Amino acid sequence: MERAREVIVVGGGVMGLATAYHLARGGHDVLLLEARAIGHGEGSSHGPSRIIRLTYQSEDYIELARAAFALWETLGDEAGEQLPVSCGGLDFGPPDANQMAALGEAMTVAGVAHELIDAAEIARRFPQLRPPEDAIGFYQPDYAMLPADTCLRLLAAGARAAGGELREHEPALAVAPSGEGVEVRTARATYRASRAVLALGSWLAPVAATLGLDLPLTVLKEQTSHFEPVDPALFAPGRFPLFIQRFPGARTFGAGFPIFGEHPGPKLLIDRLGPVVAPDDPDRSIEGDIRERLERYVAETIRGLTGRVLETTSCRYTLTPDEDFILDTHPAHPQIVIASPCSGHGFKFATEIGRILAALAVGQPHGRDISRFRLDRPSLSGRWTVGVGAPGG
């Protein structure tokens, strides 16, 4: 018979690991269940690099990013590794492009150091880029990269070192409230706890449905490519900015990363292009039409590449309708925390969101206004049937 735990975290991506890390460091008895190996390549958390930035269109996101920045630095310092890796960054596009005006206003109000530069100055500073003639840009020196696989490894090691139990290759087959607690069933055992945190990434919606929650989450099959440079030195951090290109009337973004880690070329992508897939779709093959579109975009936007693609990888984006996260307790079963810090921009916040989720799980204050992320907000409200899927409750 398995002993009862204080908290069970279901899902071992970056958000689940960060939650388990903070729970264990806070002295709480936590069990994390991951269906695959920690750091596996079938979800949304793996890979060589992620963006961390303060260029956001609202002050609450900026403050979340600031707090996450500090926690990533602490995690790296304690392990003797550099987190994050500074490189400077640029958001650019026409003045009417998606969120450009809001970015400048929010950073000014929040006191984020940045420069407003025009297309000529962008091209002068970064001759590798071909900005549109009408482009403006916000250069933000605090832009940095997070080595994603390293982040996962350090969070897992930190959770284990603090007494957390992490079980890999043990998928949760059922989650259900049981009185004021919760039961999680796997092929190995039925686990009981006072609280549970569901941080399942693209697999969240089917599990939430068994708990009476109809979450309007869209899962996209996305991909990124590394391109061969003519001169790698031109694409090193500090020479080539981590950039986001914003387009008018579109939710897609072009983006590029400097050369980082073991990859010999910059990482480039256009996000939110992938086909919609089922959460459990095992297909991770590369979409040729999307890669061709990226190759055309790169040829038009970047100088100094040979045009040869070195590597293309696939990942998952799980989007809410408004692209804001979900961080809330179940409306009928508050012992179950629902977490979808997603929509293609969540990774950077994991250290702070994990702290918040840990606090929600044990009923402690977390000091953040997370009303933006409630389940009953307009874009999500009315999407649950209270009482459905609640055996033993």
- For the stretch 57-93, pLDDT in tens is 999 999 999 999 999 999 999 999 999 999 999 999 9
Residues 169 and 201 reside in one and the same domain: yes
Residues 296 and 368 in one domain: no
**Structure confidence at residue 215 (pLDDT):** 95
- At 258-288, the pLDDT tens digits run 999 888 999 999 999 999 999 889 999 999 9
CB within 8 A of 143, min separation 6: which ones?
51, 52, 53, 54, 55, 86, 87, 88, 89, 90, 241, 242
Task: Give the pLDDT of residue 391.
Answer: 26
Instruction: Tell me, yes or no, whether 386 lies in a domain.
Output: no
pLDDT per residue as tens digits for the range 333-355: 999 999 999 999 999 999 999 99
Q: In this predicted structure, what is the pLDDT of residue 98?
A: 80
Using the 3D structure, point to which of 319, 344, 359 is the last residue of a domain.
Answer: 319
Give residue-wise pLDDT tens across range 184-232: 999 999 999 999 999 999 999 999 999 999 999 999 999 999 999 999 9
Q: At what angle do helices 350-362 and 59-79 cross, to 10 degrees?
A: 100
Q: Residue 250's pLDDT is what?
A: 87
Instruction: State the CB neighbour count (10 A cutoff) for residue 132.
Output: 16
Continuous segment of H or E residues that includes residue 199: none
CA distance 198 to 11: 7
Same domain for 116 and 158? no
CATH number for the domain harbouring residue 204:
3.50.50.60
Percent of the chain scoring above 70 in pLDDT: 97
Q: Are 64 and 341 in contact (CB under 8 A)?
A: no
Quick one: 73 and 187 in the same domain? no
Asked whether residue 189 is domain-assigned, the answer is: yes
Owner of token pair 């992490």:
166
Q: Would you say residue 22 has pLDDT above 80?
A: yes
Residues 55 and 119 placed together within one structural domain of the fold: yes
* 80 and 136 together in one domain: yes
Q: Write down the pLDDT at residue 265.
A: 97
Q: Give the pairing type, strands 242-246 and 253-257.
A: antiparallel
pTM across the whole model: 0.96
- Same domain, yes or no: 228 and 292: yes
Domain of residue 58, CATH code: 3.30.9.10
Q: What is the dihedral of CA 192, 198, 200, 206, to 10 degrees?
A: 90
- Looking at residue 1, its pLDDT comes to 64
Measured CA angle at 120 (ends 116, 125), to 5 deg:
75
Q: How far apart are the first and last CA of the chain?
A: 21
Give the chain's domain count: 2
| pLDDT at site 382 | 53
Does 277 lie in the same domain as 134?
yes
How buried is 369 (Cβ within 10 angstroms: 0-12 exposed, 13-18 middle, 19+ buried)? exposed
3-state secondary structure at position 372: helix
Please return the burial class of 281, using the count of CB atoms within 10 Å of its CB with bins 0-12, 13-18 and 19+: middle
Tell me how far apart the alpha carbons of residues 238 and 260 are, in angstroms, rounded to a whole number: 11
Other Cβ atoms less than 10 A from the Cβ of 302: the count is 22
Q: Determine the structural domain holding residue 105 and report its residue range.
A: 50-146+218-319
Same domain, 231 and 337: no
Q: Please write the tens of the pLDDT for every residue from 126-173.
A: 999 999 999 999 999 999 999 999 999 999 999 999 999 999 999 999
**Average confidence score pLDDT of the chain:** 94
Residues 200 and 102 in one domain: no
Q: How far is CA 358 from CA 24, 80, 180, in A?
A: 9, 25, 18
